[in-house]
Chain A
Amino acid sequence: MSGLVMPKPDDATLRRRTEIVADMRIIVPGEGVVDATNEMRAFESDGLTAYRQLPLVVVLPETVAQVSRVLKYCNDRNIRVVPRGSGTSLSGGALPVEDAVLLVMSRFNRILAIDYPDRVVVAQPGVTNLGITTAVEQEGFYYAPDPSSQIACSIGGNVAENSGGVHCLKYGLTANNVLGIEMVLMNGEVVRLGGNHLDSEGYDLLGVMTGSEGLLGVVTEVTVRILKKPETARALLIGFPTSEQGGQCVADIIGAGIIPGGMEMMDRPAIHAAEDFVHAGYPLDVEALLIVELDGPGVEVDHLIGLVEAIAYKNGSTTCRISQSEQERLSFWAGRKAAFPAVGRISPDYYCMDGTIPRKELPRVLAGMRELSEKYGLGVANVFHAGDGNLHPLILYDANVPGELDKAESFGADILRLCVKVGGVLTGEHGVGVEKRDLMPEMFNQIDLDQQMRVKCAFDPNHLLNPGKVFPQLRRCAELGRMHVHRGQVAFQDIPRF
């Protein structure tokens, strides 16, 4: 592990491990408690495999009552808890902590209700993202957010991370597609937010829970909105001599009032890696390749394809192919979808970043990345959710070369600093986790972070849930609660009545 510092383990908890494991077996009988080192190995990291840590014990509850009892037990004894869904986080959100119970929700794997008239599905949190679509597709419905890990990632994890995907430009993120959750607080209390109706009666706690990275509560049930599948989808594959032209084409498409179902861009290194891998027929003489997917009724898709083709031509496209069949549409996507493994073939390791930038800054950020690439002596390939400005630079390195992982991490941090500098953010969809935790001050000052931590204090005042994630340093809630204004000592006693 590189320079990541996690909260100091609590010796008392480590010493009581045998007793804690025995108590967990009482709360979760059967095979729901895993404490053998070799069996716990399966849980020692998530999708961010550079970091590994064995937990204190792995607990796989089956009922909400068990989740509640585990959390209350731990809360009463000051034991830390790390929740985990499918473990596909790319930011270390589900990375175990040495003195923490790892609470794995994978046995919550049932669809509880499908309501077609109201277009909602109620699912347990361990159901996979794709599992929801699978459950309703025979009726022609689907669940819109489609993170690339959708075959494996859980809907509970999607809530924790506010997951996006290729189609979120048009259909929104998890936060826009979840209507309600049931969750358990660290003190064991079970709370329901929302339901099968719209909007909150009070504060939008559902909004703040979505994307809270497992630090506020453990989700035990999720109600999502499903949509009818569009009648058709077709895609354009457009090549440009420069990334500026590709970027301008994206801006012009949106400027024409068109919000495509998906709009993805790849740079030259990513195009070449993908083409070598899947032979999708990508042009190799372009600097930027744009995939624009339009979905809806056939008549609408045909109409928009004509408009997009004209916009591409106006922006100097050198190739423009329009899918004539479902097979061809899928072939356009094959390279993009295989971009990560394709890059994995040309480099022993790669490190995937996730900044978002205002789209117009793309040329500047790509140029900056080229400079950084030279500075660090590491290659970088870019795939880009062009419609919403979410960049995924893949930094190429070799973990077996001493120092290269550290170099890749520094390179990545510099890229994210650049994103923030141009008006963007550290993470678009992968989450802060442990990976970007120490970069949070690049975007937020201490007062900004304090407000976020106060939310944490309202949910989990002892900081026991998913410790060491998101916040660079935790301040004690008692300290955060103090007011730093004192009557008679403030400079604004004689406040101007403006």
Chain B
Amino acid sequence: MTTFTPTSSTEALSTVQWAAAEESPLETVGHGSKRGIGRPQQSEHMLDLSKLAGVTLYEPAELVLSAKAGTPLSEIERLLAHNGQQLAFEPMDYGPLLGGAPGKGTIGGVLAANLSGPRRLKAGAARDHILGINAVAGRGEAFKSGGRVVKNVTGYDLSKLMANSWGTLAVFTDVTFKVLPAAETEVTLAIRGLLDDAAVAAMALALGSSAEVSSAAHLPERIAARVAGGSLGADAATLLRVEGFGPSVAYRIEALKTLLKNAGPLQEIAGEASYAVWHDVRDCAPFADGTEKPVWRVSMAPSQAHQMVLTLRMQIGVSAFYDWQGGLVWLRMEEGDPEAGLLRGLIRKHGGGHATLVRAAPSHRAAVSVFEPQAPHLAALSARLKAEFDPKAILNPGRMA
């Protein structure tokens, strides 16, 4: 096995051209923090993009940042924080869940995995903030798409197409993201002691108000104890995050308290304590247990997901908590089997959505479709796109199969 470590986009291009000519598969990695996601790879060679690094443009007043694809996310987040800005989509860190170190991951990986966090509900995911890319298609051609401005409908949005492509269409060399001001103040209102169905009703009520709740998560009993160093205690916690300018946050928190006055005991969590809670919700800390017990990430309609989980619980042992108003379910399969067929069947019965097996032993990932299988016409369309960009199937072959 050879590892190619390009230090320029030209070197990245010639590596891919060589691999295409040789029809020799490449596993593309940044820091490798998400290598454990997807069908295990058996590529002959590795393309390591971590030396293709550095912020190339940052103009805070223009709300734009460009970086080489291998730039550490942590470096970008530090730079933005220094200027009172952020990636508003709050990219999660898979490291701890997958048994790795926290704080790894590159900005290219953020796009390739379409990362987001609790603020996905209001602010979107990486796909909603990517403005432009430079990339090398699997056929060995360097191309660009998009630009550095937010309003842009010039040609197809290939940058979005690359979101959630897990390195199977093209190798990114440069990415440009929209950046936004970080909120001045953050306060979380917690409702304690709710069961899943009451929590989902409370979150829907809050999100249907004009309080501009930016994140809404529900940590059932005991799971609540596994975030923010146990500071929440073990009682179920339904969390509503409100962000913005101080006077506005105070007003909106009061409005929520009035709205939810009979929902259950209310608790305000401010500042660092609030950051710590959402950081751990974001990174799925309750299931970052150092094991390989299967963990699913399920996206469904917020009103349906907990009902699917209720039915699932009747059949097998699972732990679950919810983000995105209930629409994102993190599921740990306590009996050790991914139970993909059962889970996906129930998702279909409850209005549809998709489930990704984000953690599992390699044997399970080889045997189960890690990514939700698509309906036949859609699967065929996706396969045609893959063949257009990577006709020799050299980029992470089989990873999304």
Contacts and interface: CB of A to CB of B under 8 A. Distances in A.
B127 A204 contact: yes
Nearest to B156: A452
B273 to A, nearest CB: 22
Contacts, number: 296
Contacts of A338: none
Contact of B378 (A115, A192, A296): A192
Given A204-B163, A255-B60, A356 B151 contact: yes
A490 B21 contact: yes
B144 interface: yes
A387 to B, nearest CB: 9
A208 B155 CA distance: 10
Given A119-B208, A208-B158, A448-B143, A197 B352 contact: yes
B91 interface: no
A22 interface: no
A169 B62 CA distance: 12
Chain B residues touching A, range: 35 or more
Contacts of B169: 203
A385 to B, nearest CB: 7
Given A119-B207, A198-B328, A485-B21, A447 B141 contact: yes
B339 interface: no
Nearest to A423: B148
Interface in B352-401: 352-354, 356, 371-372, 374-375, 377-378, 381-382, 384-389, 391-392, 400
Q: Is the interface of A mostly helix, strand, loop or mixed?
A: loop
A101 B201 CA distance: 48
A164 B324 CA distance: 25
Interface string A460-498: 000000000010000000001101011100101101011
Q: Which of B62, B155, B210, B327 has the most CB of A within 10 A?
A: B155
Contacts of B392: 483
A205 B382 contact: yes
B164 interface: yes
Interface string B115-136: 0100011001101100000000
A297 B6 contact: no
Given A198-B120, A297-B251, A451-B137, A428 B153 contact: yes
Contacts of A191: 375, 377-378, 381
Closest 5 CB pairs of A and B: A207-B160, A300-B248, A257-B181, A201-B354, A428-B151
Interface of B: 2, 4-7, 11, 14-15, 17-18, 20-22, 59-64, 84, 114, 116, 120-121, 124-125, 127-128, 137, 139-145, 147-158, 160-165, 169, 180-182, 184, 201, 204, 207-210, 212, 244-245, 247-248, 250-252, 255, 299-303, 324, 327-328, 351-354, 356, 371-372, 374-375, 377-378, 381-382, 384-389, 391-392, 400
22 contacts: A117-B208, A192-B378, A197-B327, A198-B328, A203-B161, A203-B169, A204-B163, A207-B163, A211-B156, A254-B181, A257-B181, A296-B212, A296-B248, A303-B247, A304-B245, A356-B151, A358-B64, A425-B152, A428-B153, A443-B154, A455-B161, A497-B4
Interface of A: 115-120, 140-141, 161-162, 164, 168-169, 172-173, 175-176, 185, 189-193, 195-205, 207-208, 210-212, 228-231, 251-252, 254-259, 296-297, 299-300, 303-304, 356-360, 385, 388-390, 423-432, 436, 440, 443-444, 447-452, 454-459, 470, 480-481, 483, 485-487, 490, 492-493, 495, 497-498
